[in-house]
Every structure is written in structure tokens, then in C-alpha cells.
Structure 1
Amino acid sequence: MTLHIHTPLIESRPLSLAAGSNVWLKLDALQPCGSFKLRGVGHACEVHHARGARHFVSSSGGNAGLAVAYAGRKLGVPVTVVVPETTTDRAKDLLRLEGAKVVVHGSSWQEANALAQTLVGPDDAFIHPFDDPLLWAGHASLVDEVAEAGMKPDAVVLSVGGGGLLSGVVEGLQRNGWGDVPVLAVETEGAASLHAAMQAGHSVELERIASVATSLGAKRVADQALVCVQQHPVHSHLVSDRAALEACERFLLDHRVLVEPACGAALALAYAPGALAQYQNVLVVVCGGATATLEQIQAWLQQVD
């Protein structure tokens, strides 16, 4: 019994018509905490709990923290989440709803993370939002479920923030013997740390995050993401904030599921006419996100170019 659930795999008629391919959706927005993060975070929390951890500490302004809070509540382990000052009231409310203690510190995730590290005692476990082999192993279960369903895609489309989902999906593809299936890694133009690293050939720190897709806001991608690029066919794609936001609205209309702009980035590529036409069957990871509201998405749309 895992903390995450098996999520639906459905064929999307609207996206298939837009893309000119058969588009399949892995609906991880339907995880109990609202995002794919529960796969890896839940796995990490279960492992640390089995090793005797009495308290989980995390640093996250959003979905990773929610996943830790959910896992802690289910396992009966208290949770402290350190969030930066930029974290929305809604995100903090959702964390408290799961019973987590919320500490607000610093102007960025990096500063929140630095404080979180100091709060970890000898009987505690620190749960990283994206850079941990336990997380990648858990995220790989997403591909296992697709394989069990008997659908081998010609390509996988996913959003990249810190690189945890990318690392897990590549691990899942390889452990299922699908090393030939390319991953189309999508970022918004103001949060493209993987794209910058792929161009430079090494890890690069962005000066700042200039995107409404704050869940993609890692200034530096995990080193494992670069290892994946070297070991697996990974193609980098960039979309605008506007395209990501419009994809969120369109997806809500098409499938009655509200996702964050970070997830909208991957959907934007699928909605772009002909962008996926070279592939017959495409898997899009609908990674979700619990902290955005429709009002917020519409407000952002009025602000972007």
C-alpha cells in the first residue's frame, strides 16, 4: 500500500485534435495532495519512517511541502515546512489544513531551505523537494503505471522545475526498457534552468526567476537532471508565461481539472498546433499543482505580455 494513488491514464480528444497526435494524459493532478510530488515524497517519507524518523522537515513554498504534510499526517509523524515570504496565503492555509507547522523565512526558497536544514534534529528526516534518489525512485512509479496499462508512448511531455520529475520519469522509462522514448522537457522562458544548463553543458544558476510559474522556480536544476540528459534522449522546449496560463484555462474547459502554470507549460506544448505531430502517441504528464486558483490565473493573464 503506497501513499500515492494509481492515477487515470486517459486519451484526450481535445488535445489530440490540437496536437495532431494521439495525446494521452497521466492525470497526476488527481493525487490526494494535488500533484505528482506525492509519489516521490511519499516514498521518501515511508523509507525514513521505517528507519525511525519521528519528525519530517521540508522547505517548499508549494506542492512538495503539501506532499510532505499529507504523508506525515497519514503516517502519524509531525511535519514542519519552511516557506519563503513569497508563498501565497492559500499555500500556507493548505499546509496547515494537513496539520503541518508552517515557518515563514527568507525571500527565496534557497533562504527557506537554509533555515530548514538547521531545524533537523537527530531523530528527524529532511525531505528535499526535488533532489533526492528516493524521490526519483518514487516518481518513476508513474511510468510503471503506464507500462502496466499496456501503452508505450512515442514521446513523454513533462514540465521541469528542479528536475525531480524528469529524473524520476527517465528512471521509470529505463527500468521498463523504454530507453528509446524521448522526453520533451518544457520550461517557461523565465524559469529555464535546465535549458540554460543544457546549452552550457554544466549546471548554471539563473540570476532570478522571472515567471508566474513559480513551481518551476529552481534557479539551478538538480545535477541528476543533467545526468539524465546525457543518458537519455531529452529535448528542451520553452513556452511563454502567456501560453502556460492560457493552457491552464483551456485544460479546465476541456477536462474540468484546474492545474498550476507550472503544469500548464507542458500542456502548452501539446496545445501548440503541430508541435507534437512527428509522434503518433504522446504521453503528457499532468503534474497538477494545488496552490493556484482560477482567479489568480486570470489575474496573471492580465499582467503578462
Structure 2
Amino acid sequence: MSLSIKTPLLHSLPLSQCVGAKVWMKMEAMQPGGSFKIRGVGFACEQHHAQGAQRFISSSGGNAGLAVAYAGRRLGVPVIVVVPETTTARARSLLGLEGAEVIVHGKSWFEANELARSLQTAADAFIHPFDDPLLWQGHASMIDEVVADGVRPDAVVLSVGGGGLLAGVDEGLRRNGLDSVPVYAVETQGTASLQASINAGQLVEIPAVSGVATSLAARQVCRRAYEVSRERPVIPVQVTDQEAVEACLAYLDDHRTLVEPACGASLAMLYGNKTPLDERSNVLVIVCGGSTATIESLLAMRG
């Protein structure tokens, strides 16, 4: 029993028109919980459950925490999610709806994560939001599905926060013989930790993160994400918060699907035609989703 579902692969006429190439959308926003996270988180939780884990502990008030809560409910395993004070009331409510115990602690994810780690006993499994090979193995299945649906992309566009999606997509491309396909790694200007590491030629931490794309707010990407940037063509792209929000609203009009600004970042690259893609035949964009996005929150961010 897989906790994630096979999501649609759809051709987008509006996005194809923007970039002058055929754009395919992997609709991960359709996953249970609203984001791609359930692929890796669900796979990790299944593995830990099979090994006897009696409780799952997470430190994310966003997509990863909701995926852990969903997995725990489906598997009949209790879940604790530690969230920082900045976590919205909507996110806390959704976690509660899935039956998770929610603990609010600290002003940032780092503080929430420290408390979550301290609660872990030998009977528990800690589910990291992005830095775990089990997650990447689970995320890779989305590429298996794309290839099974008859599309072999010659470019992939995705958003980067902690880098778990990048690591998983890379694994999926490799196991389908797509080792040299370039990945356009999109970040907002206030969260560009991958680009900082690429520019520095080593894994670095940026001093602070800022902006509306809170799901991308990792001051340092996981080591595997940086390694991927050395092993295949990874083209870093930055967009503004405003561009990410406007892309979410345009996408809602064009495709009747609501996503958060973290996902809007990769869509903004396409809507804004920020990087030439017209020489590509099949461009794949990972529509990663966003569990807590609402129309009201997007309009408020738009200002």
C-alpha cells in the first residue's frame, strides 16, 4: 500500500505559449495533504513502521508535517509535530484535523527542530522535512510515473527549499537513464541558499531567509542537493516574491489549481520566460503544491 498516489501529467498550453516549448506539469498538488512531500515522507514512514516504529516525530508546520500527520493517521501510528510560533493557525488546524499532537515552540524551524529531536526515544522515528535518503527515494517515483506516461523530459523546472525535491528528482532521472538532463532550480530572492552554495563552490549557509515563500526558507540546502549541482547541469534561477505570488494567481486562472508561493516560484520562471527554453522539446515542471495556501492569503501577499 503506497500512501502517495499516481498524479496526472498534463500538457499546459498557457505555459507552453509563454516559453515556446511543450511544457508538461506533474500535478503533485493533487497528492493527499496537498503537496509532493507525501511521496518521500510516506515512503519513509512505511519503512519505519515496518521496522516497528511506535510514533512519528516531525518538526514542520508546513507540507512535510502535514504529510507525516497523514501517514501516521493512515498507518495507525501516533504523530507529534513541533512547529515554530510563526506557523499559521490554518496549518495548526490542518495538523489537528489529521490527528497529530501539535506542540508550538520557538521562533524558527531550527528551535522547533531541536525540541522535536529531544523528544525522540528508541521507539520513535524522526521524519526530517528534506534531508533523508528515504525521502529522496520516495520523491523519485514521480519521475518514474512521468516516463511511464510516455514523456522523457529534456529539462526539469522545480522549486528549491531544503533541496529534498531536487535530490529526489535527480534520483528519478538517473534511474530512468536521464543523467544529463538539466534542472532549473528556482528560488525566491530571499531564500536563495542553493545559488549561494553554487556561487561559493561549496556548501554554505546564508545569513537569513525572508519573504513569502516560507516553504523554501532553508538557510542551507542538504548536502545531497549541492552534490547534485556538481554532478549534472543545475541552473539556478531567482524570482521575486511578487512574481511568485502573481504566478500562483495566474496558475489558478489557467489551471484551476491553488498552489503556494514556494510552488509559484518555479511557475514564475515559466510565466516570465526568464530562461530560454525554446530549444527544448519537453519541459517538465513539478507543480509541488502547498498544503496551507488560500486565495485570501495570496491576495494579502499581493498587497
After TM superposition, the score normalised by the length of structure 1 is 0.98
Relative distance call for 1:198 and 1:145 in structure 2 (3 A) is: same
Cross-structure match for 1:158: 158
Matched, 1:73 2:73: yes
Question: What is the distance in 1 between the residues matched to 2:217 and 2:278?
Answer: 29
SS of residue matched to 2:34: coil
Question: What is the distance in 1 between the residues matched to 2:23 and 2:284?
Answer: 6
Cross-structure match for 1:289: 290
How far apart are residue 210 of structure 1 and its match?
1.4
How far apart are residue 99 of structure 1 and its match?
0.3
Q: Which amino acid is 1:122 matched to? A: A
Question: What is the distance in 1 between the residues matched to 2:112 and 2:274?
Answer: 41
Question: What is the distance in 1 between the residues matched to 2:97 and 2:74?
Answer: 13
Cross-structure match for 2:170: 170
Question: What is the distance in 2 between the residues matched to 1:199 and 1:18?
Answer: 28
Q: Which amino acid is 1:282 matched to? A: V
Cross-structure match for 2:51: 51
Higher deviation after alignment, 214-223 or 229-238: 229-238
Cross-structure match for 2:299: 298
Matched, 1:2 2:9: no
Cross-structure match for 2:21: 21
Cross-structure match for 1:97: 97
**Structure 1: runs of 5+ lacking an equivalent:** none
How far apart are residue 280 of structure 1 and its match?
2.2
After TM superposition, the structure 1 = structure 2 runs for residues 1-305 of structure 1, keeping only pairs within 5 Å, are: 1-273=1-273, 275=275, 276-302=277-303
Identity level (%)? 62
Higher deviation after alignment, 62-71 or 194-203: 194-203
Residue 18 of structure 1 contacts residue 274 of structure 1 at CA under 8 Å; is this kept in 2? no
How far apart are residue 211 of structure 1 and its match?
1.4
User: Runs (4+) of structure 1 moved beyond 3 Å?
Assistant: none
The Cα RMSD (Å) is: 0.8
**Structure 2: runs of 5+ lacking an equivalent:** none
Residue 20 of structure 1 contacts residue 274 of structure 1 at CA under 8 Å; is this kept in 2? no
Q: How many residues are matched?
A: 302
Question: What is the distance in 2 between the residues matched to 1:96 and 1:203?
Answer: 36
Question: What is the distance in 1 between the residues matched to 2:206 and 2:9?
Answer: 35
SS of residue matched to 1:237: strand
Q: Which amino acid is 1:86 matched to? A: T
Residue 243 of structure 1 contacts residue 265 of structure 1 at CA under 8 Å; is this kept in 2? yes
Q: Which amino acid is 1:189 matched to? A: Q
Q: Which amino acid is 1:278 matched to? A: E
